[in-house]
Amino acid sequence: MKEKVVLAYSGGLDTTALIPWLKETFDYEVICCCVNCGQGNELDGLDRRARISGASKLYIEDVVDEFSDEYIMPCVQAGAVYEHKYLLGTSMARPCIAKRLVEIARKENAVAICHGATGKGNDQIRFELSIKALAPDIRIIAPWRMTDVWTMKSRDDELAFVNAHGIDLPFDASHSYSRDRNLWHISHEGLELEDPSKAPNYDDMLVLSVTPQKAPDKVTDITLTFEAGVPRTLNGQAMKVSEIITELNRIGGENGIGIVDIVENRVVGMKSRGVYETPGGTILVEAHEQLEELCLDRETMETKKKLGSQFAQVVYEGKWFTPLREALQAFVESTQKYVTGEVKLKLYKGNIIKAGTTSPYSLYNESLASFTTGDLYDHHDASGFITLFGLPLKVRAMKLAENEHTR
């Protein structure tokens, strides 16, 4: 009986070419596994494509709710944004996918897991760190780094390879953006984006959204409610987190929300440029932050912002299944107990505008914040506070003046 390999299968040309290549190079039985994190119609026709390419089996694993609840929401609650712009759409999904690949590999008694990530990107790190953490005994095959046996260097080479094996597929060698899509976002790389001096060709690129210029010339009102940091309703309707994100993607996309053009620092040491569409995620993160403004005290907010940045770094670098991520998430979860309330927003041509936030746990006290004197605040108390708060500055200035005088 042949040994088995589980292939992370997207149905694209790269992973389709890997099926006959794995069989010929290692004499493996190839088990394909497509992990559905919300790719939409990209899953159409995968079963037939995998089988005609030589796979003995295809698993299509629906993890949309798991992805939403166990990966997206911890990042939203942490305020995890990499380099102030990237909402971690691909970064969050890779450990979720790797976990299911390991589960299928165990089920099939496979000796190896293969992925099609390139040797220049972050995804190879995210997949492999996750697999090592969950299944250190399983071999990892990364063909794009195995240049002695993986000799294909372009889409033309891959197309010629599958055609030579009698595999008729609906692909051609024409160039297009390199994209990654899931429930949270879609990313675009390649073509004119490889030159930072060029503007993105949004008319040809965008999938989930329109540009702000093409968004309707009218305001869209939305209302979100949260319980303990988790969204529960959208416009008065109770929904699962995945359903809320799906609907926010539609609404946000129509209003030109969440399109960012980023030059980011990859883990492997190079800079790369990409355009990310994250319409629903951008709205959800903004709404959650607005509720936290009311519910969290100053010192907790300051600490959470610092750790949120570290959380983003950990996730971006593929270190999801680590004690550090668990510890950071435990802190974040402890801050969410009272992040409950309602957030109203107005969407207009790429902008998210506050329209009122309420919470039963709001720390905002109108009596304290008002310009009129309230019962809880005596203006005279500020004098002593400022004296003590400014004491180090005063002592330093006195010492400098004393030394200057003695010269």
Q: Among this protein's residues, is 44 annotated catalytic?
A: no
* Residue 327 neighbours by CB distance under 10 Å: 12
The residue whose two tokens read 């329109």 is: 210
* Angle (nearest 5°) at CA 86 between 84 and 88: 130
Cross-strand pairs, 357: 343
Q: Among this protein's residues, is 178 annotated catalytic?
A: yes
Give first-to-last CA distance, the chain, whole Å: 91
Tokens of 272: 């790369």
Distance separating alpha carbons of residues 76 and 148, to the nearest angstrom: 42
Q: Which of 94, 100, 273, 325 is catalytic?
A: 94
Q: Among this protein's residues, is 123 annotated catalytic?
A: yes
Strand pairing of 237-238 and 230-234?
antiparallel
Distance of CA 239 to the CA centre of its chain: 21
Task: Order across the sheet with 57-62: list the strands.
Answer: 57-62, 29-36, 4-8, 112-114, 139-141
Cross-strand pairs, 25: none
Distance separating alpha carbons of residues 6 and 4, to the nearest angstrom: 7
Residues contacting residue 134 through CB under 8 Å, at least 6 positions apart: 98, 99, 102, 321
Cross-strand pairs, 234: 224, 237
Q: Among this protein's residues, is 14 annotated catalytic?
A: yes
Tokens of 343: 């957030």
The residue whose two tokens read 């992805």 is: 67
Question: What phi and psi values does residue 96 have, to the nearest 5 degrees?
Answer: -65, -45
The residue whose two tokens read 């936290």 is: 292
Q: Which of 10, 91, 100, 123 is catalytic?
A: 123
347 residue type, one letter: L
Question: What phi and psi values does residue 400 have, to the nearest 5 degrees?
Answer: -60, -40
* C-beta of residue 111 within 8 angstroms of C-beta of residue 346: no
Q: Which of 56, 69, 178, 261 is catalytic?
A: 178
77 residue type, one letter: Q
* Residue 219 neighbours by CB distance under 10 Å: 14
* Residue 23 neighbours by CB distance under 10 Å: 19
Task: Order across the sheet with 271-277: list the strands.
Answer: 178-181, 186-189, 271-277, 259-265
Active site residues: 14, 94, 123, 178
